[in-house]
Amino acid sequence: MTMKGRKLLMIPGPIEFEPQVLQVLGAPTTSHTAPDFISSFGNCLRMMKQVWECPDGQAFIMAGSGTLAMDMAGANLIEPGDKALVISTGYFGERYAELLKRYGAEVTVLKSEPGETVALSAIENALNTNKFKLMTFTHVDTSTAVRVDPKPIGELGRRYGVLTVLDGVCSVAGEEMRQSEWGIDVALTASQKAIGVPPGLALLVASPRAMEAWKNRKTPVGNYYCDWTNWLTIMQAYEEGRPSYFGTPPVNLVAALEVSLKMILDEGMEARVARHKTLATEFRRKINDMGFQLLPVNENNAANTLSAIYFPEGITGSDFMASMAKSDVIIAPGLLPDLKSKYFRVGHMGSVNSSDIVSTIAAIEKAISQVRN
């Protein structure tokens, strides 16, 4: 343990949070209908649409984790018997397939090899074979550190009249995001990653087309808490500065979100994405120099928010992880069931800076030398 009394948190969420964000979490909690809070909530909804680059979208802020945001999209857009296509690049694609089945979807999964993406031709082929209502994909799969290019998937969605749902839990505010331009219908995330707020917020922006699809449902939404019938008027009220109530919002987390979104927009999305890219490239170069191999097969598909790294030959993974656990840097184990014991993960998003990268590399070097001896 360092003299600071804490370790450097370098996992792919939760991440290290800015002191200004943490400070408001400890401020006295106000009423969820207090004018200041209504203004904060409205600002958050407006700033989300800026970060997502979706000016005509409908933003939702819910108490819950990223899985709730996934659930909200599934619950509101799927009716029993609808066909859904899941483009899976890892663990979280599998989760989406299971989730959509709960709402009665007939799910087809297109699954990539670990570290790879699904070919666009395979997606187009599937769209030609079946009339899907919706397709989901994971922008950055946190189990593989593979990033998928949303633009051509958005285009396919438009061309084939299929709604597109982007799981951006490990990408939004760390990777490029142009929801409107790309034609993505739902882009969802959670607070604890590149958004920079402790766990507890499920965040989502829905396109006019997604809202239209929800309005045209023939059956009620099969999830009471997630139902947009309950939440749309609440979000609209907050944006218009009026008090409203359905379920008590997480007041302090929303106040923290306002601070973090302001910091994100002050940095500017372009500069922020460039910073993530620079630091990720620096981290990967150092990792490669040390003789490690990355899970993403193609460097162009390597995420800028985290890295997934195979243990080198001759190193026992559990020994390395045990040695890292004694260091001042916290990293994450593997997550993909089949490869779990063969790799580890390092998050580098949000407030991350160059010294964090250097400290992490140094800790990894030291752990390696300890387990090699």
| Positions that interact with ligand PMP (CB under 6 A) | 13, 65-67, 92, 138, 141-142, 167, 169-170, 190
Q: Which helix (H) or strand (E) holds 294?
A: strand 293-294
Q: Of 231, 87, 211, which is closest to residue 148 (Cα–Cα)? A: 87
Question: Is 301 or 323 the residue whose CB approaches ligand PMP more closely?
Answer: 301
Question: Is 51 or 349 the residue whose CB approaches ligand PMP more closely?
Answer: 349
Q: Of 210, 204, 203, which is closest to residue 183 (Cα–Cα)? A: 210
35: Cβ contacts below 8 Å, ≥ 6 apart: none
Question: Is 67 or 108 the residue whose CB approaches ligand PMP more closely?
Answer: 67
Question: Is 160 or 225 the residue whose CB approaches ligand PMP more closely?
Answer: 225
> Residue 219 CB, nearest distance to ligand PMP (Å)?
26
What Cα–Cα distance (Å) separates residue 330 from each residue in 22, 27, 241, 327? 20, 28, 42, 8
Q: Of 133, 137, 123, 131, which is closest to residue 170 (Cα–Cα)? A: 137
> Residue 15 CB, nearest distance to ligand PMP (Å)?
11
Q: Of 314, 315, 352, 308, which is closest to residue 332 (Cα–Cα)? A: 308
> Residue 201 CB, nearest distance to ligand PMP (Å)?
9
> Residue 143 CB, nearest distance to ligand PMP (Å)?
8
Residues forming beta bridges with residue 89, ordered by sequence position:
none
Question: Is 142 or 327 the residue whose CB approaches ligand PMP more closely?
Answer: 142
> Residue 60 CB, nearest distance to ligand PMP (Å)?
15
CB-nearest residue to ligand PMP: 66
223: Cβ contacts below 8 Å, ≥ 6 apart: 71, 75, 103
Question: Is 198 or 312 the residue whose CB approaches ligand PMP more closely?
Answer: 198
> Residue 172 CB, nearest distance to ligand PMP (Å)?
10
Q: Are residues 325 and 337 in contact, defined by beta-carbon separation less than 8 angstroms?
A: no
